[in-house]
Structure 1
């Protein structure tokens, strides 16, 4: 079997999202089955020596060198998306016949064009569309939002399989279709939560001494994260100056967040973005990890930070403006609690109480929860979805 994977990034890129790191395991999974794999992507650097060392089987790289999109202008982001598409199109239209093609929701539109190209081939490939982030929630213009919804409908319709990260995400996609077609769509839209590539469920030491940080945030500092609202919550905690709170990461709103933190006289320590290897032991010694959202996003995404925190044995605080489907998830799995940042006084009371009652012995993450992010279970499920 010949497999093509198309994504904006690839391993060892660890400063953008989970997917580039996950793709290493995707590649190894297919290589382990004796498949030939081609991968199209962009990279910050030429890691060809590292790739050759890591992947000794049949693996073909098609890539370009560019900084990560987060650091680039909007125009350059579009140009990089076009570069990904052109490399993918060249591979698809070449003499190589791919049996399976993976396309992701990032970069947008690439998945649609690849599906269209696939339709013109004599021997069509099986296309797996992996919806990591339904960015429709970021679109404010109603016309653009409608166009984007129709784009997603087309991609889901053309793809053989669509993978979402949660039931609310699946239901959201299905709601875009009329009742006449929902039953058809339902058969090929699946839920498969991202695995945590460095999770070790065999360890008995999943609970660590929580003596370093009360609340840690590790991730992007942008408008959609709602960190400005969470600062108001912290400011309403009576003893907030005695709390140990650390924010790690970068983003377009970071300077604004720092200014507001100082204005509110908060004692938050801000740190630059560091590697996953460096951040994990810090998370492990924190009482709670923060998953913050400007508004309810549970129907559009499943925060990768959630798995990152839990995999370190650290429960989470989900903060959103209004109720969020993630609240049901974390309460059902006893892996944290949720607060409504629209009511900072009430949210502050809840956080203060949880911190006061924190007991490391009772805060252990169950292995059953962690196994939801186990990559072996993930690929067993993926195998059934694709090959059964």
Structure 2
């Protein structure tokens, strides 16, 4: 089977770890021909190019800067990427016909590309719904509800859903959200196809974990709550900083590892407040980040309390993979906290409720973290391994 994957994520190697790389590697290893169409931003000074490596084909398409840039360039770049992708596919992939066109949100602006491939090749279209836009931008105050721009993006969203043969949603709450807000979408078109990974067993000895902590000047005799990943407005990081400030339990230590639009502001907060129970590290390589996680005790997930869409951050999988209990502070609309509690691997609180957060911090510190961690790994193996996503998609074409 010939598979083409359209993504806004920058993919340079299918051998890297990540929710998309792991899935594409699974398709490759199952004997399918895989082509990845991925942006290369103008800041990288690389022209559009096509290459074959590691058993897959990669078409890098030169675009405007669409990540970590100002909102004007991001907006224009996101709109332009549809035509840039379509032009590159017509030029570099005219000779190849595809059985499956696979794509993820963001963005929602791939409709013309998908329609072209479907019409030309009679391909099956499968959407991995990782982001519900434009509602998330409305929730964050970045778009005015019912405004002209919002209406234009709504039309694109509905068009994308319409041309998708199947829509794989991250959780049951995501399925319900799509049904509620898009009644024209057939229920038969929707299924739960969550973020998944190819798990690795990380077996570090206590001495190795101690050495990792010492390398980064992290206390070896405290329980480390780690927040790792993107540091942006959607993560509701003010509540994380409030939590650090409010936590008086001397057993707890907070580690923030990541980068993003809010990093500078968070660093300024650390510089001013000099917290004794927390440390901030800028983005690490994936290898170093995994080692760091392995030396921590409890994973943290934060989401802005204003969200109406049911986000399901992929960072959960990194914590579960490390057999790490999870503390989730989110809006009331996502079901990620419910899933964590139902599977007895952590606790949920509503973002903004500091009393509930402090109760949960103290409660989890009094738990058997080994038992919670074992439950976390079981949840990963039961629900979030890449073979499950692969089977759901492949079964549509058998």
**Could you say which TM-score interval applies, normalised by the shorter chain?**
0.7 to 0.9
Which residue in 2 is equivalent to 1:100?
Answer: 100
Which residue in 2 is equivalent to 1:254?
Answer: 263
**Normalised TM-score (structure 1):** 0.81
Name the CA distance, whole Å, in 2 between partners of 1:20 and 1:10: 13
Name the CA distance, whole Å, in 1 between partners of 2:156 and 2:82: 18
C-alpha contact (below 8 Å) 1:92/1:118 kept by paired residues: no
Name the CA distance, whole Å, in 2 between partners of 1:342 and 1:327: 15
Which residue in 2 is equivalent to 1:186?
Answer: 187
C-alpha contact (below 8 Å) 1:102/1:130 kept by paired residues: yes
Query: Could you say if the C-alpha distance between residues 72 and 168 of structure 1 is closer, same or farther in structure 2, counting changes exceeding 3 Å?
Result: same
**Unaligned runs of at least 5 residues, structure 2:** 211-219
Which residue in 2 is equivalent to 1:373?
Answer: 384
Matches within 5 A, 1:195-344: 195-197=196-198, 199-200=199-200, 213-239=223-249, 243-261=252-270, 266-267=275-276, 268-295=278-305, 297=307, 299-322=309-332, 324-344=334-354
Which residue in 2 is equivalent to 1:125?
Answer: 123
Name the CA distance, whole Å, in 2 between partners of 1:27 and 1:290: 28
Query: Could you say if the C-alpha distance between residues 89 and 290 of structure 1 is closer, same or farther in structure 2, counting changes exceeding 3 Å?
Result: same
**Normalised TM-score (structure 2):** 0.80
1:142 paired with 2:151, answer no
Partner secondary structure for residue 364 of structure 2:
helix
Moved more, 368-377 or 60-69: 60-69
1:73 paired with 2:57, answer no
Moved more, 135-144 or 169-178: 135-144
Kindly state the Cα deviation for residue 79 of structure 1 after the two structures are TM-superposed: 5.6
Which residue in 1 is equivalent to 2:394?
Answer: 383
Name the CA distance, whole Å, in 1 between partners of 2:259 and 2:120: 46
Partner secondary structure for residue 168 of structure 1:
helix
1:169 paired with 2:174, answer yes
Partner secondary structure for residue 195 of structure 1:
coil
Give the ranges of 4+ consecutive aligned residues of structure 1 lying more than 6 Å apart after TM superposition.
203-210
Partner secondary structure for residue 373 of structure 2:
coil
Query: Could you say if the C-alpha distance between residues 174 and 20 of structure 1 is closer, same or farther in structure 2, counting changes exceeding 3 Å?
Result: farther
Query: Could you say if the C-alpha distance between residues 193 and 68 of structure 1 is closer, same or farther in structure 2, counting changes exceeding 3 Å?
Result: farther
Kindly state the Cα deviation for residue 265 of structure 1 after the two structures are TM-superposed: 5.3
Which residue in 1 is equivalent to 2:213?
Answer: none
Name the CA distance, whole Å, in 2 between partners of 1:277 and 1:67: 29
Query: Could you say if the C-alpha distance between residues 227 and 28 of structure 1 is closer, same or farther in structure 2, counting changes exceeding 3 Å?
Result: closer
Moved more, 35-44 or 224-233: 35-44
Name the CA distance, whole Å, in 1 between partners of 2:54 and 2:297: 36
C-alpha contact (below 8 Å) 2:302/2:351 kept by paired residues: no
Query: Could you say if the C-alpha distance between residues 13 and 341 of structure 1 is closer, same or farther in structure 2, counting changes exceeding 3 Å?
Result: farther
Query: Could you say if the C-alpha distance between residues 346 and 29 of structure 1 is closer, same or farther in structure 2, counting changes exceeding 3 Å?
Result: closer
Tell me the alpha carbon deviations over residues 12-57 of structure 1, each in whole angstroms, 9 at most, x when there is no partner.
479xxx99834334444333454433221124777x9xx75522xx
C-alpha contact (below 8 Å) 1:137/1:300 kept by paired residues: no
Query: Could you say if the C-alpha distance between residues 90 and 282 of structure 1 is closer, same or farther in structure 2, counting changes exceeding 3 Å?
Result: closer
C-alpha contact (below 8 Å) 2:85/2:113 kept by paired residues: no
C-alpha contact (below 8 Å) 1:215/1:288 kept by paired residues: yes
Partner secondary structure for residue 230 of structure 2:
coil
C-alpha contact (below 8 Å) 2:344/2:372 kept by paired residues: no
**Unaligned runs of at least 5 residues, structure 1:** none
Which residue in 1 is equivalent to 2:161?
Answer: 156
C-alpha contact (below 8 Å) 1:133/1:300 kept by paired residues: no
Tell me the alpha carbon deviations over residues 83-118 of structure 1, each in whole angstroms, 9 at most, x when there is no partner.
4642345425835332211122123312x2224435
Name the CA distance, whole Å, in 1 between partners of 2:253 and 2:53: 42
Aligned pairs, number: 368
C-alpha contact (below 8 Å) 2:257/2:283 kept by paired residues: yes
Moved more, 30-39 or 365-374: 30-39
C-alpha contact (below 8 Å) 1:63/1:87 kept by paired residues: no
Which residue in 2 is equivalent to 1:2?
Answer: 2
Tell me the alpha carbon deviations over residues 217-258 of structure 1, each in whole angstroms, 9 at most, x when there is no partner.
111221111111222233222346x63211111122222223
